[in-house]
Amino acid sequence: MKLIKYVPNTISLTRIIMCIFFVNGIISQYNNGQDNTHTLFILFFMICISDFLDGKIARKTNSVSVLGAKLDVFADLFYITVSYIALVSFKIIPIWFLLFIIFKFSEFVLTSKFIKNNIKLSDKPFVFDKVGRIVSATFLIIPGIVCISKCLNVHYINSIFSCILSMIFIAGMYSSYSRIKDCFKIYKLNNNLERGKL
């Protein structure tokens, strides 16, 4: 029973290793001209499954921890960072989208920290919002979908992806606006409470 508590973190660490193979597959495909479609699809599928399983197992076995939550977020960030850098370097995804991801993650960490420091919600290190969850999920699936679809020679694929990336950007900015707005509300509320004590 004690060993099963290490399973979620082991899955997260395995995801980091799979990310390295995934990026290596991207480089081989777009730099060396190798057809790695099947390998990329399998790795992408395993990365997505592992992201789902680590949290699910942690909750089922009552082994949720701050370390585990941080490791899960780090594994996601590592996958996103290395895969997007590879795709941007081959001009498959525009650099502005990578910069947007960096902004969104930084905003997420800072607003989570602010909200956690001012309102005791739970023992979890991060505070999530519904729109932000959807946006972060799209960050995870975009690299896999791009790699697979680029090999299928779908007509108008660049136009389709431009529209999808634009919609994700709008949703992400709305999420950031809502979170920053909530932080200002909390700040004002705390100030009013402090004044009331004087």
pLDDT by position in tens, the chain (length 198): 566 777 888 888 999 999 999 999 989 888 877 778 888 889 999 999 998 888 888 788 877 777 788 888 889 889 999 999 999 998 889 999 999 999 999 999 899 888 888 776 556 667 888 999 999 889 989 998 887 776 666 666 778 888 999 999 999 999 999 999 989 988 888 777 777 665
Q: pTM higher than 0.85 for the full model?
A: no
Query: Are the CB atoms for 151 and 37 separated by under 8 Å?
Result: yes
How many structural domains is the chain composed of? 1
Residue 82 belongs to domain spanning: 3-197
Query: Are the CB atoms for 25 and 39 separated by under 8 Å?
Result: yes
Sorted by sequence, the CB contacts under 8 Å of residue 49 that are 6+ apart come out as: none
Nearest in space to 43 (alpha carbons), one of 71, 64, 24: 24
Q: What is the CATH number of the domain that holds 154?
A: 1.20.120
Residue 78 burial class via C-beta count within 10 angstroms: exposed 0-12, middle 13-18, buried 19 and up: middle
